[in-house]
Chain A
Amino acid sequence: MLSIILLLQEIETSRFAQMKLAAANPDLSKFLVIGALLFIIGVAGVLTRRNIIVIFMSIELILNAANLNFIAFSRYLAGIGSPNALAGQIFTVFIIVVAAAEAAIGLGIVIALYRNKETIWVDEIDLLKW
Chain B
Amino acid sequence: MTLSGYEALFFWIFGLAAIFAGLLTVMARNAVHSALFLISSLVSVAALFILARAEFIAGVQILVYVGGVMVLFLFVIMLVNVGAEERGSEEIFNNQRQVAASLIFCLLLVGGMLYAINTGYRGLQTLHPATPEAVAAQEAIRDQAHAPSATRSSRITKDTESVGGSLYRYASLPFEIASVLLLVAIIGSVMLARTLKQEVAVDDVDPGNAD
Contacts and interface: CB of A to CB of B under 8 A. Distances in A.
Interface size class of B (residues with CB under 8 A): 35 or more
Interface string B45-79: 10011001110110011001100110011001101
Given A105-B185, A105-B192, A107-B72, A90 B171 contact: yes
Q: Which of B8, B118, B191 has the largest count of A CB atoms less than 10 A from its CB?
A: B8
Interface string B178-198: 100110111011111101100
> From DSSP, what is the main secondary structure of chain B's interface residues?
helix
Contacts of A45: 25-26
B1 A51 contact: no
Interface residues of A, number: 74
> From DSSP, what is the main secondary structure of chain A's interface residues?
helix
A16 interface: no
A118 to B, nearest CB: 8
B115 to A, nearest CB: 11
B82 interface: yes
Interface in A13-64: 23-34, 36-45, 47-51, 53-54, 56-58, 60-61, 64
B60 A26 contact: no
Given A27-B1, A99-B69, A111-B192, A90 B167 contact: yes
Given A50-B93, A58-B26, A114 B80 contact: yes
Given A41-B22, A96-B65, A60 B76 contact: no
Interface string B16-27: 001100110110
A122 B181 CA distance: 27
Interface of B: 1-4, 8, 11-12, 15, 18-19, 22-23, 25-26, 31, 34-35, 38, 41-42, 45, 48-49, 52-54, 56-57, 60-61, 64-65, 68-69, 72-73, 76-77, 79-82, 85, 90-94, 98-99, 102-103, 105-106, 109-110, 113-114, 117-118, 121, 124, 128, 130, 132, 135, 138-139, 159, 162-163, 166-167, 170-171, 174, 178, 181-182, 184-186, 188-193, 195-196
The 10 closest A-B pairs by CB, nearest first: A108-B192, A47-B102, A101-B185, A108-B189, A45-B26, A75-B52, A29-B121, A79-B1, A36-B113, A41-B22
